[in-house]
Amino acid sequence: MLRKVSNFFTEYKQFGLVVISLIAAAGLYLAGLYTAANWLLAIAALLNLIPLVWGMIQDIRVGTYGVDILAATAILAAVLYGEYLTAMVIVLMLTGGESLEDYAEKRAQTELTDLLKRAPTKAHLLKAGKQKDIKVSEVKVNDKLIIKPGEVVPVDAIIISGTTSLDESSITGESLPVTKNENDQILSGSVNIDGVLTVKATQTAKNSQYQQIVQLVKTATASKSPFVRVADRYSVPFTLFAFTVAIGAWAISGDSLRFLQVLVVATPCPLILAAPIALISGMSRAAKNGIIAKKSSALEKLAEIKTIGFDKTGTLTKGQPVVSKITSYGKYKNDDIIQYAATLESKSNHILAKAITDEATKRNLKTKKTKHISELAGLGLKASISGQSVLVGRYNLLEQEHVNFPAKFNRSSIQSTSALVAINGQLAGVINFEDEIRSEAKTTLRLLKNLGIKNLLMVTGDNSKTAQKIASKLGITDVVSEALPADKIRAIEDVKHPPVAFVGDGVNDAPVLASADVGIALGAKGSTAASESADVVIMVDDVSKVESAVHISKRTLYIAKQSIFIGIGLSVVLMAIFATGRFKPVYGAALQEVVDIVVILNALRAHGSWKKPKIKTAKPQPATA
C-alpha cells in the first residue's frame, strides 16, 4: 500500500504536494494554529501559481491565449482576500485535473502502447541443420527461421513447412485466429498459436510490418492536435465574458468579494481537458479497429471531409487478377485449357500463374506430369505433357513458335493480360483475366454517402474503358483515368467539394496521399511509401475500414465539441449563481471540480467500449468486375 502511495506521489508530484499541504493545514487548524495554517495554505497556493503564470507567459510569447489567466487571477485574488482555503481548492482543481487528464490519456492509449510491449527481441535461426538464437535485428532476408508455439513472429516471412493458427489481432484487428499453410505470407507481430513453423524471412526486422506499426504508434502518441488551439479560441470570448460578469457583480453590489466568487467558478479546466482527451480516446478506438491515425489532428480533419477519392487497383479492387473468361477452340474444352495451363503455371511465380492455378483448384482439376519445362522470359512457358508440346503465354510467344490460329480467332479480342494456350502447334484456347472488385467496396461507398460525404471520386492509372466499367458497377460517376502521380494530385485539387481525403495503397499513390487533406493508406500489405505518406493507415486489408475511420472521426469530434460546450455551459450557470454573493468562494471551487469530472467522463465516451469495439462497418456483399 505504501509503495502504491509512494509511486502515485512520484508520478504526480505537484498534485501530491498540494494534497500534503491541505492535510498538513487541516492538522494545524485542528490544533488551533490558525495563523500557521493560513500561512501554509497561502505559501502553497502562491508556489503553485508560479508554474501556472510562467506557462501563461510562454503561451503569450508564441501568440496563444488560454484560460490560465482566469485560474491565475482567481488564485491571486483569493490569497489577497484572505480566502486561503479557496485558493488551495482552485490549485487542487487544476493539479487534480491535470493528473486525471494524464491518467485518462494513459488509459486511452492502452491499445497503442501494447504494440511496443510485445515487440519480438529474438529469433531462432536455422543454419546447416542447427538452430541458433540471434537478435531480431540480425535477421537477414532469406534466412531460415523456426517459430515455436506461443512465440511472436519476429519478421515478415513466408512459410516453408508447417501449418498453424496465427493471432493477428495486434496487426489487423481481426479477433479470430487465421490458419496459415505452406507458401503463405505471415506478418511480424502475429502470435504463433499451435504449430512449429519453418519460414524464410522476406524482410529484415527494420522493414517488417510490426516495426512499421510501432513507428506509426510512436508518431501517433507524440502528436498534439490543433483542435486544442480551437478550444483556446473558445476561451478568449469566455474569458472576456467571465471578467465582465465578475466586474459587473462587483460594480452593482459594491462588494469586491463578488469578483472572486465569480472567477472561482470561471476557471474551466474543461476547455483545457475536453479536446485532447476526446481525440486521444478516438485514436485509441481507431487503433482497436485496425486503423492507425498518425496524429490526432488527422481525426479532426477526417471528420470535416466532403469528398473522398479512391485509387482503383488494390483499393476498390483486390489487385489480384482472376480468370474471367475462357475461350476454347477445336476439340478442347474449357477444363482442358485450364488444366494444361495450370500444369505449366504451377512451376511459375508470375502473378497470372496464381490466378490460373486457383481456377484449376476451383474446378477440381489436377495437374499433369511435365517434361523439359522452360520459361521464356517475358513471354511464357513451354513444356512437354504426355508427349504433346504445350505453350502458355503471350500472343508474341505463339507467333514466335509459328502456332496456327483458327479462322474464327479474333486478334483484337486479346487483352494485354490474356494467356494463350497452344497444343502441338495449334491454338487451343485463350484465358482472360480481370481485377475483382472487393466484396465490401459497394456497401462501403453507400455508407460513406450516408455519413455526409458529398462526392466520391475514382482516380486511376488504368485505361478509360476498364476504369469506367469498374466505376459503373460501384455507382461512381466522377472518374479520372490514365492518371500519372501528378495527374492524381491535380484531380483532387480540382474537386468541387473540399476538403478531400484520398485512399490508396501503391507507391504511385504516395504523392497524392501526402497532398490530400487526409491521406488514407490501405497499408496492411501495401506500399511502405504509401503508408509513410498517409495521415491514416488501415492495417487490415479491408476498404470498409475507411467508413469506420470516418465514422469514428465524426463521433470523436462531436464528443470533443460537446464536452467543451458542456464545460462552458455549466460554468456560465455557476457564474450566474455565484454572482448573487449567496455562496462562499470555496463552494464554487469545489463545484468547478465536479464540472471538470463531468467533462472528462463525457470526453472519454469517444473511446467507445473499453472491452470490445462496436463500430458500424460495411457488411461484405458479393460483387465482381
Maximum Cα interatomic distance, the chain, rounded to a whole number of Å: 115
Label residue 318 by pLDDT band (50, 70, 90).
Answer: confident
What CATH number does the domain containing 157 carry? Answer: 2.70.150.10
The whole-number average pLDDT for the span 252-275 is 78
pLDDT digits (tens, 9 = 90+) for 356-375: 999 999 999 998 888 888 87
| Gap between the Cα atoms of 182 and 137, Å rounded | 25
Burial 304-321, CB ≥16 within 10 A → b, else e: ebbbbbbbbbbbbbbbeb
Which of 406, 435, 464 delimits the end of a domain? 435
What is the percent of the chain where pLDDT is above 90? 26
Give CA angle at 209 (208, 215), nearest 5°.
95
- Determine, yes or no, domain membership for 336: yes
**Cis bond before residue 237 (omega within 30° of 0):** no
- Segments forming the whole domain that contains residue 200: 121-204
| Gap between the Cα atoms of 86 and 264, Å rounded | 8
pLDDT digits (tens, 9 = 90+) for 329-351: 989 999 999 999 999 888 776 66
pLDDT digits (tens, 9 = 90+) for 180-229: 888 888 988 888 887 789 999 999 988 887 776 666 545 544 544 444 45
Label residue 108 by pLDDT band (50, 70, 90).
Answer: very low
| Gap between the Cα atoms of 456 and 476, Å rounded | 6
Give CA angle at 51 (50, 55), nearest 5°.
120
What CATH number does the domain containing 394 carry? Answer: 3.40.1110.10
Q: Is 311 a catalytic residue?
A: yes
Label residue 104 by pLDDT band (50, 70, 90).
Answer: very low
Which of 384, 401, 435 delimits the end of a domain? 435
Q: Note the pTM of the prediction, 2 decimals.
A: 0.66
Greater confidence (462 vs 615) lies with 462
- Determine, yes or no, domain membership for 524: no
- Determine, yes or no, domain membership for 304: no
Residue 218's pLDDT is what?
A: 56
Q: What is the dihedral of CA 146, 148, 154, 159, to 10 degrees?
A: 60
What is the percent of the chain where pLDDT is above 70? 81
> Does residue 612 surpass a pLDDT of 50?
no
Neighbours of 126 (CB within 10 A): 17
Query: Which one of the listed residues 311, 435, 517, 541 is annotated catalytic?
Result: 311
> Does residue 616 surpass a pLDDT of 70?
no
- Determine, yes or no, domain membership for 353: yes
- The three cell numbers locating residue 300: 479532426
Of 28-32, 383-387, 441-445, 581-585, the range with the lowest mean pLDDT is: 581-585
> Pairing state of beta strands 455-459 and 478-480?
parallel
> Does residue 551 surpass a pLDDT of 80?
yes
> Does residue 112 surpass a pLDDT of 50?
no
Label residue 175 by pLDDT band (50, 70, 90).
Answer: very low
- Determine, yes or no, domain membership for 52: no
- Determine, yes or no, domain membership for 64: no
Greater confidence (301 vs 167) lies with 301
pLDDT digits (tens, 9 = 90+) for 384-430: 988 899 999 888 888 888 999 998 888 877 765 688 999 999 999 99
Mean pLDDT, the chain, rounded, equals: 81
Greater confidence (52 vs 103) lies with 52
Listed residue (500, 486, 502) closest to 538, CA to CA: 502
Instruction: State which H helix or E strand residue 344 sits in.
Output: helix 334-345
| Gap between the Cα atoms of 418 and 430, Å rounded | 7
Neighbours of 129 (CB within 10 A): 5
- Determine, yes or no, domain membership for 339: yes
- Contact call for residues 342 and 376 (beta carbons, < 8 A): no
Report in angstroms the alpha-carbon separations of 161 from 180, 198, 562.
Answer: 10, 5, 55
Neighbours of 52 (CB within 10 A): 17
- The three cell numbers locating residue 580: 448573487
Number of domains making up the chain: 2
The whole-number average pLDDT for the span 117-140 is 86
- Determine, yes or no, domain membership for 359: yes
| Gap between the Cα atoms of 367 and 345, Å rounded | 10
Residue 294's pLDDT is what?
A: 80
> Does residue 586 surpass a pLDDT of 70?
yes
pLDDT digits (tens, 9 = 90+) for 472-490: 999 998 999 888 777 888 8
Which of 379, 412, 435 delimits the end of a domain? 435
| Gap between the Cα atoms of 573 and 371, Å rounded | 89
